[in-house]
């Protein structure tokens, strides 16, 4: 099973069994997001800065453009129910849907009609905002949760014909949201304003923080087989999560409603100041749960075999406590960033 890694300039295909890598062909310039199709082996999706959406059907080795050229693509999420459906989020905030694997696209109803939209703003570019993350329901193809960076987590139960605005007590600056196939109404969200979870599909929220010593969360994932085990990545703030030389990213694990436990066993120290900290790594399970790492690194819980000394993955078969040498949870730690890819940093990744 290959792992796809997007740097700021290209997509790299990692063979985790052989420990080799090669540059993918035909996927345009400046990839922004990647996602493996959970229902179609070998299929992957890549969003780009302005070249549109690209699809691969050979494990990421070759790509072809499938539309939305000229738009800034910020997120892409294949359906977990229908193999031909894929959702795309853009900047400014729009959600697009293809029901035929990218042959044609149609926009959902406008997000900016929601009452909270006047308050949406992405701090580095305060005059705009974007769809940072799209989470699809594991059973109902018409249910989505859409994270606007920054200002709202909104949802739909009818495929985007109508939208429900953010609710009181919910996350404001959602970075990722995970939904487990065994608990489809339980939501886990990592946000710039903390960790949030809901047991009723997002109608009400709580924010358990006992055991956390920082409050800026980058990523979240759920154990593939045990929905009560959650792993998050966090940092002391946005600068220490994303800026080179300031990384203080860390991992935490939580079982059911217990306290958060920081994961230290096998986790590397802070990166050297000269290394960049602008990376993400992912490997999806068939059910789509996602697991995360420190800094801007992202990973997902899933079935990925073999070790690769070339990419220095940290692996865990025990829900990230401790890190061990078999399969399941994979991550590129912050201290390894800047060693891989032509431009010296990871940007995004997935496994197909």
Q: What is the pLDDT of residue 22?
A: 87
DSSP letter for each residue of 131-194: EEEEEE-SS-TT-EEEEEETTEEEEESSTTSS-BPP-TTS-SSEEEEEEETTEEEEEEEEETTE
Q: Do residues 66 and 54 make contact, with C-beta atoms less than 8 angstroms apart?
A: yes
Partner residues linked to 248 by β-bridges: none
Q: Do residues 2 and 16 make contact, with C-beta atoms less than 8 angstroms apart?
A: yes
Residue 86 to residues 133, 194, 250, Cα–Cα distance (Å): 13, 28, 32
Q: Residues 154, 156, 162, 167: is their CA dihedral positive or negative?
A: negative
Alpha-helical segments (H) within the chain: 238-242
Q: What is the pLDDT of residue 275?
A: 33
CATH of the structural domain 2-351, one choice from 2.60.40.1180, 2.130.10.10, 3.40.1280.10, 1.10.730.10 = 2.130.10.10
Q: What is the pLDDT of residue 6?
A: 83
pTM of the complete model: 0.80
Q: What is the pLDDT of residue 310?
A: 32
Q: What is the pLDDT of residue 269?
A: 63
Q: Residues 105, 108, 113, 119: is their CA dihedral positive or negative?
A: negative
Q: How far apart are CA 30 and CA 34, in angstroms?
A: 12
Question: How does pLDDT run along the chain (352 residues), one tens digit per residue?
Answer: 788 888 888 888 888 888 888 888 887 678 999 999 999 999 999 999 999 999 999 988 899 999 999 999 999 999 999 999 999 999 999 999 999 999 999 999 999 999 999 999 998 889 999 999 999 999 999 999 999 998 999 999 999 999 999 999 999 999 999 999 999 999 999 999 999 999 999 999 999 999 999 999 999 999 999 999 999 999 999 888 887 777 788 899 999 999 999 998 877 665 544 333 323 333 333 333 333 333 333 443 332 222 222 334 454 545 444 333 333 344 443 333 222 222 333 445 566 6
Q: How far apart are CA 107 and CA 184, in angstroms?
A: 25
Q: What is the pLDDT of residue 345?
A: 37
């Amino acid at each position: 099973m290959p792992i796809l890694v997007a740097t700021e300039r290209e997509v790299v295909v990692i063979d985790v069994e052989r420990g080799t890598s090669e540059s993918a062909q035909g996927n345009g310039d400046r990839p922004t997001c990647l996602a493996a199709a959970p229902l179609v082996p070998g299929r992957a999706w890549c969003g780009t800065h302005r070249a549109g959406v690209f699809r691969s059907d050979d494990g990421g080795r070759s790509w072809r453009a499938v539309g939305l050229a000229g738009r800034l693509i910020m997120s892409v999420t294949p359906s977990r129910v229908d193999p031909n459906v894929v959702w795309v989020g853009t900047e400014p905030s729009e959600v697009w849907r293809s029901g035929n694997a990218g042959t044609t696209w149609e926009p959902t109803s406008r997000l900016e009609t929601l009452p909270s939209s006047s308050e949406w703003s992405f701090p580095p570019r305060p005059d705009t905002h974007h769809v940072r993350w799209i989470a699809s329901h594991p059973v109902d193809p018409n249910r989505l949760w859409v994270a606007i960076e920054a200002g709202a987590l909104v949802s739909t139960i009818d495929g985007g014909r109508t939208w429900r605005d953010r609710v009181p007590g919910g996350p404001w600056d959602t970075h990722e949201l995970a939904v487990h196939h065994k608990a489809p109404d339980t939501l886990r969200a990592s946000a710039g304003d903390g960790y949030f979870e809901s047991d009723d599909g997002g109608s009400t929220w709580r924010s358990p923080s006992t055991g956390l010593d920082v409050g800026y969360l980058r990523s979240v994932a759920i154990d593939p087989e045990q929905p009560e085990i959650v792993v998050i990545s966090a940092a002391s703030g946005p600068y220490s999560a994303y800026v080179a030389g300031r990384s203080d990213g860390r991992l935490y694990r939580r079982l059911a409603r217990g306290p958060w436990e920081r994961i230290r066993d096998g986790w590397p120290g802070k990166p050297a100041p000269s290394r960049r900290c602008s990376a993400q790594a992912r490997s999806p399970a068939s059910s789509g749960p996602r697991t995360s790492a420190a800094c801007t690194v992202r990973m997902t819980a899933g079935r990925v075999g073999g070790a690769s000394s070339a990419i220095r993955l940290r692996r865990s078969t025990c829900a990230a406590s401790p890190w061990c040498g078999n399969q399941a949870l994979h991550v590129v730690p912050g201290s390894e960033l800047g060693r891989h890819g032509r431009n010296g940093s990871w940007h995004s990744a997935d496994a197909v």
